[in-house]
């Protein structure tokens, strides 16, 4: 018997569809929190909302990204003005072609989530890192995000990330903490106390807020780093182009977005942060900078010793100090690339 080809039948042709990358979705919204959202202090927030953003393909693994007190819900943005564009986005370490990146605006902050400026309360209540984490958990549940591939928290966001990891438990695969410990450091407490005193003496003026923020920025860096950047150009006009101009720029830039009450609220939240590392029973990677004044290495080593699950401590040296998680882009990017695959 002749086969089909010999009988003149048309040969079979197999078509292979070219793989197409899933479409990236850019989603934003506001989650209405329970009518009376009870805070850790016992106070309640009524009609509160949590503003959020989610970028990435539908059904891709979820990465929650939380930054410092000046961060917001867009670590990556369509216009390129996200606060962590060096790490988040198409082809970056936290790749929005492969993962869904979820971010929030802080409760008690200056953006679209409920805060002192948007509330009718005369005295806005204290917001704890645990309060922030419970709000994020409500968001994840509302969005139907049962499993979380990674929670990344830097600075204040790392404090919130610890609380969130404790709540998520087995729902979370891995936690990454950058320059964030289980409690506030004494140097940081003192620095923020002086910042709030500046606000009080300046009657919450924009000038006082700019000065308070300038002091904070100095605490985030190191003396050696500032010297290397500005000290070698002795002929430079120090105020216009040198260190004084630099520090003034950071203060003036900050007041265009922040207000004094939000700065107080989030600073006090950072001061009050306290969690037993043993309560975080999730595999964790810690990132520590030896020169960090506000989150000293000793606290990260203590965290590792007391952690409730496998905990790796990655130590680096950087003249950027606390800001190394933003400035040491290659090192941090390599860390993320490893953690997403662990």
- The CATH number assigned to the domain holding 50 equals 3.40.50.1820
Residues 128 and 235 in one domain: no
Residues 181 and 191 in one domain: no
Residue 2 lies in a domain: no
Q: What is d(CA 76, CA 102) in angstroms, rounded to the nearest whole number? A: 10
Residues 323 and 335 in one domain: yes
Residues forming beta bridges with residue 51, ordered by sequence position:
30
Residue 49 lies in a domain: yes
The string over 100-120, giving b where at least 16 C-beta atoms fall within 10 Å of a residue's C-beta and e elsewhere, is: bbbbbbbbbbbbbbbbbebbe
Closest to 65 in 3D by CA, of 92, 32, 35, 100: 100
Q: What is d(CA 186, CA 208) in angstroms, rounded to the nearest whole number? A: 23
Q: What is d(CA 116, CA 107) in angstroms, rounded to the nearest whole number? A: 9
Is residue 257 helix, strand or coil? coil
- Domain of 224, CATH number, reads 1.10.1740.110
Residues 72 and 180 in one domain: yes
Catalytic residue ranges:
155, 292, 322
Backbone φ, ψ for residue 246 (5° rounding): -60, -45
Closest to 339 in 3D by CA, of 219, 193, 200, 177: 177
Paired sense of beta strands 44-46 and 36-38, if any? antiparallel
Residues 331 and 215 in one domain: no
- Element containing residue 66 per DSSP (H, E): strand 62-66
Cβ pair 322, 293 in contact under 8 A: yes
Residues 30 and 89 in one domain: yes
Residue 19 lies in a domain: no
Angle between helices 223-230 and 243-255 (to 10 degrees): 110
- Which domain, by its residues, includes 160? 25-185+273-339
Tens of pLDDT along the chain (342 residues)? 444 333 344 434 343 444 556 799 999 999 999 988 999 999 999 999 999 999 999 999 999 999 999 999 999 999 999 999 999 999 999 999 999 999 999 999 999 999 999 888 889 999 999 999 999 999 999 999 999 999 999 999 999 999 999 999 999 999 999 999 999 999 999 999 999 999 999 999 999 999 999 999 999 999 999 999 998 765 455 556 789 999 999 999 999 999 999 999 999 999 999 999 999 999 999 999 999 999 999 999 999 999 999 999 999 999 999 999 999 999 999 999 999 997
């Amino acid at each position: 018997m002749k086969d089909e080809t010999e009988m003149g039948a048309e040969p079979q042709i197999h078509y292979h569809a070219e793989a197409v990358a899933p479409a990236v979705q850019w989603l934003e919204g506001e989650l209405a929190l329970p009518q009376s959202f009870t805070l850790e202090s016992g106070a309640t927030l009524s009609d509160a909302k949590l503003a959020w953003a989610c970028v990435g393909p539908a059904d891709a693994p979820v990465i929650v990204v939380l930054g410092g007190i000046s961060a917001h819900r867009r670590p990556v943005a369509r216009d390129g003005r996200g606060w962590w564009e060096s790490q988040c986005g198409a082809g970056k370490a936290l790749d929005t072609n492969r993962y869904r990146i979820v971010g929030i605006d802080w409760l008690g902050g200056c953006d679209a989530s409920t805060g002192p400026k948007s509330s009718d309360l005369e005295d806005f209540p204290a917001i704890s890192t645990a309060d922030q984490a419970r709000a994020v958990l409500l968001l994840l549940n509302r969005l139907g995000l049962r499993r979380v591939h990674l929670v990344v928290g830097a600075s204040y966001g790392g404090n919130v990330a610890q609380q969130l990891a404790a709540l998520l438990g087995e729902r979370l695969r891995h936690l990454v903490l950058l320059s964030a410990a289980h409690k506030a450091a004494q140097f940081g407490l003192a620095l923020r106390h002086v910042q709030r005193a500046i606000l009080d003496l300046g009657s919450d003026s924009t000038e006082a807020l700019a000065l308070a923020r300038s002091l904070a920025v100095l605490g985030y860096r190191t003396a050696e780093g500032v010297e290397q950047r500005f000290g070698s150009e002795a002929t430079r006009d120090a105020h216009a182009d040198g260190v004084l101009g630099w520090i003034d720029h950071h203060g003036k830039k900050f007041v265009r977005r922040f207000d004094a009450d939000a700065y107080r609220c989030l600073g006090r939240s950072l001061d009050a942060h306290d969690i037993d590392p043993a309560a975080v029973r999730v595999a964790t990677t810690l990132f520590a900078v030896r020169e960090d004044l506000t989150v000293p290495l000793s606290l990260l080593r203590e965290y590792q010793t007391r952690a409730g699950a496998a905990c790796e401590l990655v130590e680096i040296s950087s003249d950027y100090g606390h800001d190394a998680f933003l400035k040491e882009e290659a090192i941090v990017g390599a860390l993320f690339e490893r953690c997403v695959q662990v």
